[in-house]
Amino acid sequence: MEIKKAKRAGQLTAEQVREAKSRLKWYEQRDQDKIKNDKALNDFESMIYKLRDWLREEDNEPYVLEEDREALMEKLMEHEDWIYDEGATANFTTFEKLYKTLNTQYGKLEKRRAADVGRDQFIKDTFEKLEKFDESVQDLKETKSWISDEERKDVSDKIAEVRTWFNEQVEKQAALKKHEDPILDTAAATKKLNSVSKLYTKVSSKKKPKPPKPEKKKEDEEKKEEEKPEEAQQETQQEEE
């Protein structure tokens, strides 16, 4: 006979337990979404202020056209109004998308400014490095004569190739206005300089060849002849006679 366990007063049914777990899960998800929403909203709002401050900075004026600046400022104002209107019910995915758009615009403008500020020094440093490589290759002719003319020419040709490319980039960049995106890519130029350095290191590290060893065959034969017993030497002499 099956004995059913009596239910205690206030004990939840299986269905009630499932409902309680479902509600708990909903509350946890709601809290997680709120955390994500607050962070995404804060990031988006901070980017609005950051981009606005950049546009208002007098030193940054050359890097953006006046009409573009005004359009961006108006857009930022619209974003700010939206936050306290329709944005009040937006979720974190919407804020993240808007933040990404503003962050891309900010990065583009800041890249123009940063590239322009350090460009003259970078150009000067790059040409000096190429010149030093030229001098170092010439020094190899005196300091490491075992390095062939062809090997040194390989390095010189590489230096000339990079110098020609860099000159072209500098000339193209000089024709641009400050508000235009830069052509001179410092990362690409650095990579090409590294390729020169790698080739120079390979050639200049060539070890000096060891001098040829003296022939020992005749010396060994004479030594063996001296070590022969006297009788054997006499027999050899008689055979020779």
Residue 208 pLDDT > 50: yes
What is the model's pLDDT at position 14? 77
Residue 18 pLDDT > 80: no
Residue 152 pLDDT > 80: yes
Q: What angle do CA 188, 193, 195 make, to 5 degrees?
A: 95
Split at pLDDT 50, 70, 90, the class of 221 is low
CATH number for the segment(s) 16-111: 1.20.1270.10
Selected residue with higher pLDDT from 216 and 166: 166
Residue 51 pLDDT > 60: yes
What is the model's pLDDT at position 177? 96
Average pLDDT over residues 138-143: 94
pLDDT mean across residues, the chain: 87
Average pLDDT over residues 106-118: 95
Q: List CB contacts of 87: < 8 A, sequence separation 6 or more.
A: 41, 94, 95
Task: Tell me if the pTM is above 0.85.
Answer: no
Q: In the chain, where are the structural domains located?
A: 16-111, 117-204
